[in-house]
Amino acid sequence: MARLARAHLGRRGGFLLLVGLGEVVWGFQFRFDPAPNPRGLTLLTEVAPLRAWAWLWVVSGLLAALAACVRSRGDWLGFAAALTPPMMWLAAYLTAACSGEYPRGLWLAAYYSATHVGVCLWASATPEHAPPPRPGPTASAAREGTAG
C-alpha cells in the first residue's frame, strides 16, 4: 500500500503531504493549547489572537496535503500554502528582534527560514523525477582514447 501511495504521490507530493499534515498538527497545537505563548509574535497578535492564527496553519496544511495529489508543477498552490504560515511567523519574529522587543526572535526567524521556508523552496524546485544521466563516453572508450 505504501508503494502504491508513493507511486501516486511522487517525491513532491510526498513532501507536500508530510508538510501539510505537520502544519495541521502545528495549527491544532496553537488552537488547543490553554495558553499559547505569543512572545515575539506581536506583529500577528495585533491583528488577531494566536488561536485565530492557528487556523492559518490548519487551512494551509490541508491545502498542501490536498495539493499532494496534483501532478508535478501543478502543485504550486500547495507549495504556496505550505510557505504562507512560516513566512508570517518568520516576519513576526524578525520584526520583534529588530525592534528589540524579543531579541531571541532573530534565532527563531533563522530557524523558520532554514527549516520551513528554505526546505519548502528547495522541494518546490526539485523535479519529480531525476533527469536521465548525461550521455558521455563509456569507461572503456575513455581508457582507449577513442572517446569522441
- What are the boundaries of each domain within the chain? 2-128
Give dist(CA 50, CA 31) in Å, integer: 8
pLDDT at 136: 66
60-87 core/surface letters (b: 16 or more CB in 10 A; e: else): bbbbbbbbbebeeeebeebbbbbbbbbb
Interval 59-65 mean pLDDT = 97
pLDDT band of residue 128 (cuts 50, 70, 90) is confident
pLDDT band of residue 69 (cuts 50, 70, 90) is confident
Give dist(CA 108, CA 80) in Å, integer: 21
pLDDT band of residue 29 (cuts 50, 70, 90) is very high
**pTM (two decimals):** 0.81
Q: What is the mean pLDDT of the chain?
A: 87
